[in-house]
Structure 1
Amino acid sequence: MKITEFNYKTENCSLVSPITDIIQYKSKIYYSQNNNIKSLTDNTIFVFDFRIVKLKVILDHFIVIGTHDISILYDDLWINKKYDYFIADCNLNYVLLYNKKIYNLQSNELICELPLKSIIKANFNNESLNVCSYDKYYLIDIKDFSLNEFDNRGRVFDLIENNNNIYHASEDRTIKINNEVKIQEYRNYFFKLLVFENELHTLNRDGYYRVYDLKTLKELVKIYFFENSLSTISVFNNNTYLGFNNGMILSFNITDKIIKNILPTPSLIKNTSSLSKVCCYYKNNSFLIFGNKKGFISINDKVYKLTDCAIKNIEMNEKLVIVLNHRNESILFNLSDETVLYKTQNSFNRIFDKIDIVNLFPYFNFSSYMEISDEFTFIGNLTGHLFLLKNNSVVDVLKLNGSIESIYKDIITTSIGYVYSIKLYKERIFIEKYKKYNFRIITSIYSENNFIISLSNGSVYLNNQLLFNFNSTISSLCYKNNILYFSSLDTFYKYYNNEIIKVCNIEGYVYKTVVYKSTILLSCDSHKIYVVENDIVKNLKIHTNRIVDLHIKNNLLYTLSYDKTIKVVDLNSFKVIKEYKHSLFHPYKIVVTDKIIIIGNFIETLLIN
């Protein structure tokens, strides 16, 4: 068969919820998005009070898995279960939590705790449980929960079984069959695999959907969208359904080579308002909101004019309506007092009202924080918004390309390869200049007046000049006395005099590397902190979950973990002297000033005592 290869242009809408799963149930195709499940064939909508992660069908049971919740539909009756810990997967008998414990789904009785290193992804099959982990994967017989362990280089992102063959995709950008490399990519890694008849369907972080012949492993289909655009894939009735992070669903038929946009249109839901030319909608238990091509929205029959161009997406959080129009302006409408909180677009002609930062917290996934003076603070989020605060009130907002990864006073990096030089003038943010890299920025540091970044292809740049190319993705960097230290997969290295030297092996993915005097400290998802001094390595185990960030202040090390604690370590004795508790499920970063600031899906501030 001749290979089908082409590009498909899509829009990256930063405020639209991603499609998390697509599934067929009783001849209908459903998709999940945020807390909703919608049908692609009629106006059926299920609304839940939790974010949906995964959908499954087992023996006519429709299973909905959230972060902490499971709902099962059978004979028109919903059965609901709630857990105190994150859910990895379930079947009709068991549920596996990310704390490695398996419970009986019916009785909630603890069955066992599996001796796993960690869990990245898990899937119950008919008689087995597959678990993806860091540098390992596990095949578990659920009859007696006996475990087979296999080594791998880097994180395993997906694993499937088909005809007694094991397929897995991992961080080293390979697909292995029965632990033997069969497919190698060099730009980015595969994160989703699916076998349908004689085809292997794959999704890659580089934005490609690829199909391979299962016998010859020759590439049959190669379609490019854009980087980090794809979220999920399913195949029904010889049609591939692709879900996207921008909320779009496309279908592709490998025979006729036609791509169709098959998202349901607002006409499938009765328009109860007087709006014409409706182009998008939002629905939950209390509100039905329509947006049209003229910039109007109707909320339960009441009409408001928000913009002068078409509205292309609507989201809602409590009493705040978030609207995105075709100029990529994001408009926040407060339903309580019927006021527009602010508007912003990617130009210098922004119009917005001042809004206290406290009101922003519930609605934006924050990623970075930098106090640039006693008065001013920068906060960045995952939708690419850079907020300038003066005394805790937002005075300016700038929309950048990609999610904001790091802020270094006047340098901003984003996920899709942009490095911006930012200038402040009269409480306004201006882009002085920028550089665009062709690959995703993985990590960056600003140290000793040097700006260093690593890209997803393994390249490292010093002050925007290529320093060296590495053969795998670099996850953390630190720089001291003209020596660059970095980690990749399970190994820690140093770069000195144009030579890369291995320092030690690391158990787990490294999130952060910091320097204290002559000591280097690394945090990782194996729950340990590695301490490297003069190439001698020791480790501290002070947390029960992954350690995502480190901050040093006044000879003290502050450690941020998914176990909802912050430990304070005396760097002279390396003993924990204090502990704080935080409430964020997915924290990204910790900043310590005269207080402790934790950045994640919202921002939490703790007083130092």
Structure 2
Amino acid sequence: MKYFIIFFILFNSVFSLDYHHDGISNILQEKNKPFFISIGKDGKIISWNFEKNKIINEISFNNGALNNISFSKSNNYFAISNYFGKIFILNKNSFNILNIFNFNSMSIENLYFISDSKLLLVYQNKKIILIDIFKKEKINEINLDYEILDSTIYNNKLIVLDRNNKFYFINLNNLNIESNLEFPSDKIIHKFLINKNKLLISYKNKLKLYDIKTKKINKIITYLDINITSLNFYNDNYYIGFNNGRIISYDKNLNNSILDYKLHNDKINKIIEYKNKIISISDDASVIIYDKNNNKLINIFNGL
């Protein structure tokens, strides 16, 4: 398996959204398309197309830092939230605001459209709320025992991780807890990914790959002097981001390192793979596109 390490000094070969964003908090890709929307700690929303080398739309919100974003099932509009729990529904193309509401003043950990009208809100303060965005009313609500650290939707279930290292598998329609999975709480799990009954969990500087069916740990990887900040999975490969700007890619069993390179100067917030291009976003708002087949950096957003 090909293995290489590249260390690169960032000068003019990187497209940066620094002039547009003062820190990117989240970014979302429209499924199988080169269309992205990024939201910032500065309250800005930017849509861009990296294949056409252009920013499409940009607006500034006077509603504080933004932290979460989700496309509707039809992809015609999207929801965003700020750190005070306020939710905005915007048209994808025009950025016109379609609706505004707030059900809880606490910060939202994540939000998910489960239909064009139903939006699932996962709060950091133990609360999960299912709402109707058109009626602006609650459909259902539950409270967990501990603060929520991470969540995802997989196989039509909401999977939630709390601060006590407990995973909840929750029915999307009625919010009933169908099962749970618990790990020792001596060290806090920060993030997780789930794919084909394999649960990848990350501690501060350690990865564990857990088989849900056999209930066994298949792999453990420990890193020295760097902390894990991002977990991502595309095309049977894991992409792990670190606080020093480093990115490592592994096969689906964590047995082989496919890529290992450092191009960012700040911690990695998110990694996306699209048509064999790796798009990585760091906390300083730089966006780097890397061609993994040809092992080279791509300068797609020249002149912006």
Contact 1:90–1:123 under 8 Å retained in 2:
no
Pair 1:167 & 2:205 matched: no
Q: Alignment identity in percent? A: 13
The CA distance in 2 between the partners of 1:264 and 1:39, in whole Å, is 16
Corresponding residue number in structure 2 for 1:89: 110
Other structure's SS at 2:89 match: strand
1:421-455 deviations in Å (ceiling 9; x for gaps): xxxxxxxxxxxxxxxxxxxxxxxxxxxxxxxxxxx
Secondary structure of 1:155's match?
coil
Q: Identify unmatched segments of 5+ residues in structure 1.
A: 267-609
Please give the alpha-carbon distance, in whole angstroms, between the structure 1 residues aligned to 2:125 and 2:169: 16
Residue 21 of structure 1 deviates from its aligned partner by: 2.4
Partner of 1:232: 270
Q: Which amino acid aligns with 2:192?
A: L
Higher-RCO chain (CA-CA 8 Å, sequence separation at least 6) = 2
Change (3 A) 1:207 1:146: same
The residue that corresponds to 2:30 in the other structure is 25
Q: Does 1:102 align with 2:128?
A: yes
What SS does the aligned partner of 2:224 have? coil
Q: Does 1:10 align with 2:10?
A: yes
Unaligned runs of 5+ in 2: 12-17
Q: Is the 8 A contact 1:167 1:177 kept in 2?
A: yes
**Residues 1:57 and 2:82 are matched in the alignment:** no
Partner of 1:35: 43
One-letter amino acid of the counterpart of residue 60, structure 1: S
**1: CA distance between counterparts of 2:302 and 2:143?**
42
1:137/1:156 contact within 8 Å kept = no
Pairwise CA distance, 1:219: 0.5
Correspondence for 1:285: none
The letter of the residue matching 1:30 is I
Q: How many residue pairs align between the two structures?
A: 265
Instruction: Confirm or deny: 8 A CA contact 2:163 2:188 kept in the other structure.
Output: yes
Structure 1 residues 191 and 150, CA gap change in structure 2 (3 angstroms): farther
Q: 1:24 to 1:216 in 2, by over 3 A?
A: closer
Taking the aligned partners of 1:85 and 1:186, their CA distance within structure 2 comes to: 35
Q: Distance in 2 between matches of 1:226 and 1:18?
A: 14
TM superposition shift of 1:2: 1.2
Cα deviation 1:116-160 (Å, max 9, x = unaligned): 322222334452222233350313222423340311442222212
Q: Report 1:208-607 matches (<5 A).
A: 208-215=246-253, 217-225=255-263, 228-263=266-301, 265-266=303-304
Match of residue 317 from structure 1: none
2: CA distance, partners of 1:74 / 1:215: 40
Partner of 1:127: 156
Any idea what SS the aligned residue of 1:88 has? strand
Residues 151 and 102 from structure 1, CA distance in 2 versus in 1: closer, same or farther, beyond 3 angstroms? same
Counterpart amino acid of 1:8?
A: F
Is the aligned partner of 1:66 residue 2:82?
yes
Aligned equivalents of 2:22, 2:285: Cα separation in 1: 6
CA RMSD of aligned residues (A): 3.0
Equivalent residue number for residue 100 of structure 2: 80
CA contact (8 A) 2:205 2:228 kept: no
The one-letter amino acid of 2:245's match is G
Cα distance in 1 for residues equivalent to 2:123 and 2:163: 17
1:202 maps to which of 218, 240, 252:
240
Question: CA offsets per residue over residues 204-256 of structure 1, 9 Å max, x none?
Answer: 22431000111462111111246643222222222211112222100112111
In structure 2, the partner of 1:44 is: 57
Equivalent pair of 1:135/1:154 in contact (CA under 8 Å): no
Letter in 2 for 1:32: I
State the SS of the aligned residue for 1:194.
strand
Q: Which residue among 147, 155, 178 is the counterpart of 1:146? A: 178
Alignment match of 2:147 (pick from 118, 127, 131) = 118
Partners in 2 of 1:155 and 1:228 — Cα distance? Answer: 23
Measure the CA separation in 2 of the matches of 1:262 and 1:22: 18
1:151-183 alpha-carbon deviations (Å, 9 max, x no partner): 144222221221222111112522333362432
Partner Cα separation in structure 1 for residue 137 and residue 37 of structure 2: 28
Structure 1 residues 4 and 142, CA, compared in 2 at 3 Å: closer, same or farther?
same
TM-score, with length taken from structure 2: 0.75
CA gap of 1:182–1:145, structure 2 versus 1, over 3 A, is: same
**What corresponds to 1:156 in structure 2?**
189
Determine the C-alpha separation between the residues in 2 that align with 1:84 and 1:187: 36
Q: Does the 8 Å CA contact 1:174/1:189 hold for their aligned counterparts? A: no
**Normalising by the residue count of structure 1, what TM-score does the alignment of the two structures yield?**
0.40
Residue 115 of structure 1: CA displacement?
A: 2.7
Asked if structure 2 preserves the Cα contact closer than 8 Å seen for 1:36 and 1:47, the reply is yes
Secondary structure, aligned partner of 2:148: coil
Equivalent AA in structure 2 for residue 169 of structure 1? S
User: Deviation of residue 262 (structure 1)?
Assistant: 4.4
Give the SS at the match of 1:232: strand
3-state DSSP of counterpart to 1:109? strand
Give, in whole Å, the separation in 1 of the partners of 2:169 and 2:88.
Answer: 25
Cα 1:168–1:37 change in 2 (3 A) is same
Question: CA 1:150/1:47 → structure 2, altered by over 3 Å: closer, same or farther?
Answer: same
Show CA shifts across 1:469-488 (max 9, x none). Answer: xxxxxxxxxxxxxxxxxxxx
- The answer to whether the Cα contact below 8 Å between 2:229 and 2:269 also exists between their aligned partners in 1 is no
**Amino acid across the alignment from 1:98:** Q
Kindly provide the amino acid, as one letter, of the partner of residue 133 in structure 1: D
Between the aligned partners of 1:22 and 1:57, the Cα distance in structure 2 is 11
1:64 Cα deviation after fit: 2.1
